[in-house]
Structure 1
Amino acid sequence: MQQESTHVTPLIHDEELNKKEILNWDVYSYGGYLFQEKREVIQTSSRKQRQQPLSSSSASASSDEEVQSVSSASSTPRLKTNSSSSSLSFKRVHSYDDMCALVIANQKLNKKMVEFFWDKCSVKICADGGANRLYSLGTKLNHVNKWVPDYIKGDLDSLHEGVSDYYAKKGSSIVLDSSQDTSDLQKCFELIVDIEKNSGIKYRKIIILGGLGGSFSHEFANVNTLFDHPERKIILTSKENIAWLLNPSYKHSIDCQVETKCSLIPLASKVSEVSTTGLKWNLVNQSLNFGDLISTSNVSIDTRIVVDTSNPLLFIVDINP
């Protein structure tokens, strides 16, 4: 059971909105178009246009990077089995993106998603029964020896004994956390924080495979994790959707294809003001609230969407319409 409520950010006035730094997001790098049979080709001129800064103050914010600098270390620290406070040793992991962590939730996995993200993330963590899902898919595809997580963490009530034994022999660290006050996904985030504190690594992106879909109550618990960590780039994924939180401290630039279907959901509280560009139905200083107007099934008309919001806003992309 979760005890912590979602964080709500107060209204930001117009003069403050104009001073906000720009945070970049890239729908494709989150697996956004894996399931489209026909992928739209973006011309070189469009790519160059997307890479241009939105203002002179944002020229240093490159695509899909945090505006704050972080360590470039790529070591993956190891925790001893069944201990979240043990001393850390280090294991070198080669990765395309040393700042990306992969968390596998206990939901049905899609092979394309696993294949897309596995080598792009420098640490892989299974949330309890997520290890069963990974083992089952890996066995089916003959990748079980390749897809070995660095950690398995949770209360371990869902973890099959045979799966636990197999991954332990392969070098996975199995970390027991019997607390009933946090979800298995929250436990994995606590592990990530421990890794960062002990290694100097700062994970720019955290991809949650199986973060959407399945049990509706579990979906809400997973979405709540976004509000627990509003300063991070956390991407919830499923075969049908990807979603992340738009932190009102930033203006958000989202690279995408034309005709990308998306929604802007005021989940935590009323959004007093939100403005967008690049959408078929743009919002101009619009308020969003359940019981009133929310923006669902909107469509991009450009390769860049810009969103400026006064309050936390859930951004959802339909990747398998």
Structure 2
Amino acid sequence: MSLEEDTHIIENEDEIHVSLPSPDDSNIHLIDMSEFYGTSDTSTNAKVLLILNQDINLPLPFFAQLWNQAELKVCADGGSTRLLHYSEKHRSELMKSSKYLLHNNNKDDNKVNEFVPDYIVGDLDSISETVRSHFLSLGTKIKQQSTTYAHDLTKSISLINLSLNCPKVDIIGSCDDYDGLLHLETKNLDNVKSPKHATVFVLGAIGGRFDQTISAITYVTKLSAEKPQFQFILLNAEYMEFVLLLKKGRNFVHIKKNELFFDGAIATDRVTSDGTIKLRNIGLLPLVNEVVLSTEGLKWDVKNWNSKVGGNVSSSNLVVGDNGLYVESSDYLFVNIEF
């Protein structure tokens, strides 16, 4: 069916006004992308960086901004090796400028010119003894969980949940090295009445081997249902885009149309020769189930539009809303947005 024939599709101008939702509207799930580069209220919402086992090929200013905004940094198994290689690749830049490493949470010595995670967790089959000893010497805590019946992503989220909500629990020494984290989480989190909300940036979930990408998408969907206090934002390790998991119902993604992250330091490909800013690409991806979609703030908005893999999918759309976009979906929906 062509665009002209589909009455559920509305073509907009290249900029339209989209009103911000009322802060009192509890029926809207708000995702504020300014959290990526702003200062979060850590008393109510934490920012966490979780690094999976994929090569990190992002520009240093971008990665450093993410690193410095995260109050908790966790590597899932081989993600620690990828992080060390990334530090070695950018060693000269890290030594020349202190702006890239404002702090390492677990190291008082600011002369450490590399990225040092707070935790490494997993079955540890993808980390060498050299890498393990290196990070241990710099204060990183390492927790082995050897069970093959849980994904390293799941193990990492259990550790993150415990670290944020049960800071007095000895995560390293209070449970076994097989599947103890999952049991420790269940035991302690049952008594937490108001678990801390967190935005978890998962680096390396997208890209690399296709089966690993699908696996990450599957586990993030499952974890989002089990832990609604966590907002998962997947990051492509090779391309500057967010991949959000929107919940069933009405969502608002707050991202200003003409705003560049990091003062435009790494977004030069979005600035034309005459100084204008290109529109952000966006895709609405029904990777879980068939959905019915309604949107506001896109170049091609849809109203009560059926979307599924093998049917209609809104890819290569554009963000034109001045304050962001609304997406109402009948089920979980993945959305990728360029920085």
**Alignment check: 8 A CA contact 2:234 2:244 kept:** yes
**Alignment check: 8 A CA contact 2:250 2:327 kept:** no
Cα deviation for residue 112 of structure 1 reads 3.6
SS at match of 2:117: coil
Aligned residues between the structures: 244
Alignment partner, residue 128 of structure 1 = 77
**Alignment check: 8 A CA contact 2:75 2:119 kept:** yes
Alignment partner, residue 200 of structure 2 = 206
Unaligned runs of 5+ in 1: 1-41, 66-70, 75-96
Cα deviation for residue 53 of structure 1 reads 3.4
Q: Which amino acid in the other structure matches residue 212 of structure 2? A: H
Q: Which moved more, 1:172-181 or 1:224-233?
A: 224-233
Unaligned runs of 5+ in 2: 1-14, 34-39, 95-111, 168-191, 259-278
User: Are 2:133 and 1:170 aligned?
Assistant: no
User: Are 2:332 and 1:312 aligned?
Assistant: yes
How do 1:1-321 residues align onto structure 2 when only pairs under 5 Å count? 53-55=20-22, 57-58=24-25, 64=32, 99-109=46-56, 110=58, 111-142=60-91, 143=94, 145-199=113-167, 202-230=196-224, 231=228, 232-238=230-236, 239-240=238-239, 241-257=241-257, 259-271=279-291, 273-303=292-322, 304-319=324-339
Alignment partner, residue 4 of structure 1 = none
After superposition, the Cα gap between the structure-2 partners of 1:184 and 1:301, relative to the gap in structure 1 and judged at 3 Å, is same
Cα deviation for residue 137 of structure 1 reads 1.3
SS at match of 1:159: coil
SS at match of 1:180: coil
TM-score (norm 2): 0.65
CA RMSD, Structure 1 to Structure 2 (Å): 2.8
Aligned partners of 1:295, 1:157: CA distance in 2, in Å? Answer: 39
**Alignment check: 8 A CA contact 1:246 1:252 kept:** no
**Alignment check: 8 A CA contact 2:81 2:131 kept:** yes
Cα deviation for residue 196 of structure 1 reads 3.1
Sequence identity percentage = 28
**Alignment check: 8 A CA contact 1:256 1:305 kept:** no
**Alignment check: 8 A CA contact 1:265 1:295 kept:** yes
After superposition, the Cα gap between the structure-2 partners of 1:205 and 1:181, relative to the gap in structure 1 and judged at 3 Å, is same
Q: Which amino acid in the other structure matches residue 216 of structure 1? A: F
After superposition, the Cα gap between the structure-2 partners of 1:290 and 1:73, relative to the gap in structure 1 and judged at 3 Å, is closer
Alignment partner, residue 184 of structure 2 = none
Cα deviation for residue 147 of structure 1 reads 1.1
Q: Which amino acid in the other structure matches residue 245 of structure 1? A: L
After superposition, the Cα gap between the structure-2 partners of 1:246 and 1:165, relative to the gap in structure 1 and judged at 3 Å, is same
Q: Which amino acid in the other structure matches residue 115 of structure 1? A: A
**Alignment check: 8 A CA contact 2:30 2:253 kept:** no
SS at match of 1:171: coil
**Alignment check: 8 A CA contact 1:211 1:237 kept:** yes
Aligned partners of 2:29, 2:222: CA distance in 1, in Å? Answer: 24
Cα deviation for residue 139 of structure 1 reads 2.0
